[in-house]
Amino acid sequence: IIDQRCVACHAPTPSFAGFTAPPKGVVLDTPEHILANTAAMQTQLATRVMPIGNLTQMTDAERETVLAWLRDGAPR
């Protein structure tokens, strides 16, 4: 889900049109980067701020799945 809904913008070189750098410098392309940003991701997803304007069409079910996974410590 993160790869499909987040990494298009949150990559070292975003592939989503209009993004030349990852928003706020947050990169989510590796497990280590995800773990380093767990708290911020939980806040952004829970408040529905991200994906910004839901540009990547994240569903409510996907949002809840990612939030539950992050609450569990993002196990691999």
Q: What is the mean pLDDT of each run of 10 residues along the chain (76 residues)?
A: 97 96 96 95 96 95 97 89
> pTM of the prediction?
0.91
- C-alpha 69/C-alpha 2 separation (Å) is 11
- What is the per-residue pLDDT for 22? 97
Q: Is 69 helix (H, G, I), strand (E, B) or coil?
A: helix
Query: Could you please report the per-residue DSSP string of 7-45?
Result: TTTSSSS--STT-SS-GGG---SSHHHHHHTHHHHHHHH
